[in-house]
Chains A and B, each alone.
Chain A
Amino acid sequence: MKCTEVRELLGNYMDQELTESMMQRIERHLLRCPACAYEARSLEQARQLLRQGVETPMVSEQIGERVLRHIAERFPHLQQVHQPEEPFSLPLLPEDFEE
């Protein structure tokens, strides 16, 4: 394979979106081409640093409740659906007791 072909496929190679035989062809090229090997390794390192280095905040219960309250206010048709504590059944009518 030529370097230009490898560079075009490097993104798919990183995401493992190529066939097994194509992955192997690229790996063989990387073993004997230091420039392409550097390209592949440095891009993968940058991706790992990005994953380790980004902040991963979580929504607090307080913020979540505030947003849900805004939504409930904006859409008056919304109703809280509560599960009944007792299984719901229709009241018995006199005819239910008739033989």
Chain B
Amino acid sequence: MENGRESEESRLVARFRAGDMQAVETLFWRYADAVLAYATRLLGNRADAEEVLSEVFLRAFEGCMGYRAEGTFKAWLFRIARNCCIDRLRQPRLLRLEDGGEPAWGGDTAEIELRVAVQRALKQLPEEYQTVLLLCDVEEFTAKEVAQILGRSVPSVKGMLYRARTALRDALSEEWGEET
């Protein structure tokens, strides 16, 4: 199944190189929500994430015009998304867009409390831990795909995932002042 998807995406990339805008639209809409979600969670700010979204796809298609690293289009795209987010986080605070202050989430108080606690707990973790948790445990990427994104080996990603899960549990316990 995965190989079928990979070869279909290779054909879409080839169509993009040949000038087919429809291929671009297909690849964009296939991953746009996931890239935006990943960037929003990592940056903690939707406005910044929307700015990054454009940059990610522009860089990805630029890369597709010439050399492209080994691996799936999806892994390539998220590798770029991660780099764009890290660049964004390194920018001076004034250059980054700010949220209005109020969370843009719906839902009842318990849901909002949970989201705030998860967001705070995530922010306490190193960026690599956040990335493995968001990609493996939320987006359900395979360890192999995350290894391609992070430029690490599969065993190294699995070890990091375990440490990240432990760190998240401890951070959530602190957020609530009790054990989860």
Residue ranges of A at the interface with B (Cβ–Cβ < 8 Å): 10-12, 14, 42-43, 45-47, 49-59, 63-64, 66-68, 70-72, 74-75, 77-81
Contact = CB atoms under 8 A, between A and B. Distances in A.
Interface residues of B, number: 47
- Mostly helix, strand, loop or mixed at chain A's interface? helix
A43 B169 contact: yes
A79 B19 contact: yes
Given A52-B114, A57-B40, A70 B158 contact: no
A74 B32 CA distance: 18
B20 A81 contact: yes
Given A56-B37, A59-B53, A46 B161 contact: no
Contacts of B11: none
Interface of B: 16, 19-22, 24-25, 28-29, 32-33, 36-37, 40-41, 46, 49-50, 53-54, 57-58, 61-62, 65, 105, 114-115, 117-119, 122, 133-134, 137-138, 158-159, 161-162, 165-166, 168-169, 172, 179-180
Contacts, number: 116
Nearest to B58: A74
A57 B39 CA distance: 10
A71 B58 contact: yes
A67 B53 contact: yes
Contact of A80 (B22, B37, B134, B162): B22
Contacts of B24: 68, 71-72, 78
B32 A59 contact: yes
